[in-house]
Amino acid sequence: MKDLRSIAAIAALYIGVMAAGLSIAVPLVDVIYGPGEVVVLGESVPITPIAGDPNDPASSGFLIGYIILVTGILLVLIKLGLSRLIRLFMYLSIFSGLSIGLIGLFGGLGVVFSLPLLLAFIFFRNRNLLILNGVLGLTCAGIGAFIGASFNLFPAALLLAALSAYDLIAVFGTKHMVALAESSSEEEGNVPLMFQIPMGGRMLGLGTGDLVMPLMFAVSAYHSSGQHTSLLVVAGGFLGLMALYFYIQTKKHVTLPALPPLTAGAFIGYAISLIV
């Protein structure tokens, strides 16, 4: 029964983030490739692709470099014990992701809802897993939708593959991703970097990027190839996540990169979409 509850929690988290992200992406794509701006509290705010040219693979390299740079800065701050500064950085990132997501769902009025959600996250994340995972999930949905809307299929696939390789190196090679995971524990200052999912007598930590990047590829597949392709990408990623879950159940005290199996599943889903 405990296993079923854990599976249900993981499935709800994954499907919820993907569904929210794709719902956000539909109007977001129209804005980005249409007027390029949205009215927020009476002011016009530009919303443009994160990549100058959505078809340019070099844009993927720029984003990979940015992610590595930010990760390096976080590691330095963790080493220096500056957890308050890290939390401030993460709260600003969460507010940005929430704003993008809620603007996609509710237009310019969405920014108004972002602040109370952020405050709820700040004050109650340690007491309520639903608030922790819910706010992080909506943040991931907004960020994943925005990045996915900014890239066409090939640069998105290149980005996803490169970050999966980076994830493997960061966990098994340099192990700095393990340090980031440990920084999410209460003992290390409780920096809000990961989802927390009860699994038997322990917690399964899932990084936000492990859902943002597959969603990014699904959104790119949606606006490049259509809903059919996007749904198969989502389904493939889900099977990859479930494979990881069942493998982890056989291990104790192990840290594994989640992005590679989700990426493999997403790519298999895309391949199937080409033949069915």
Per-residue model confidence (pLDDT) at position 261: 92
Report the distance separating Cα 83 and Cα 246, nearest Å: 33
What pLDDT, on a 0 to 100 scale, did the predictor assign at position 232? 95
117 CB contacts (<8 Å, ≥6 apart)? 98, 135, 138
Which residue positions in the chain have pLDDT lower than 70? 1-3, 34-46, 51-52, 107-110, 112, 123-127, 176, 178-192, 200-201, 251-254
Helices (H), 209-255: 209-225, 227-248
Dihedral, 223, 227, 233, 239 alpha carbons, nearest 10: 150
- Specify whether the CB–CB gap between 214 and 263 falls below 8 A: yes
**17, 207 in Cβ contact below 8 A?**
no
| DSSP code for 256 | -
Break the chain into its structural domains and give their ranges. 2-273
Give the pair of three-digit tokens for residue 38: 């949205």
- CA atoms of 263 and 269, how far apart (whole Å): 10
For the chain, the residue count is 276
Distance from C-alpha of 150 to C-alpha of 93, rounded to nearest angstrom: 18
Q: What is the pLDDT of residue 188?
A: 44
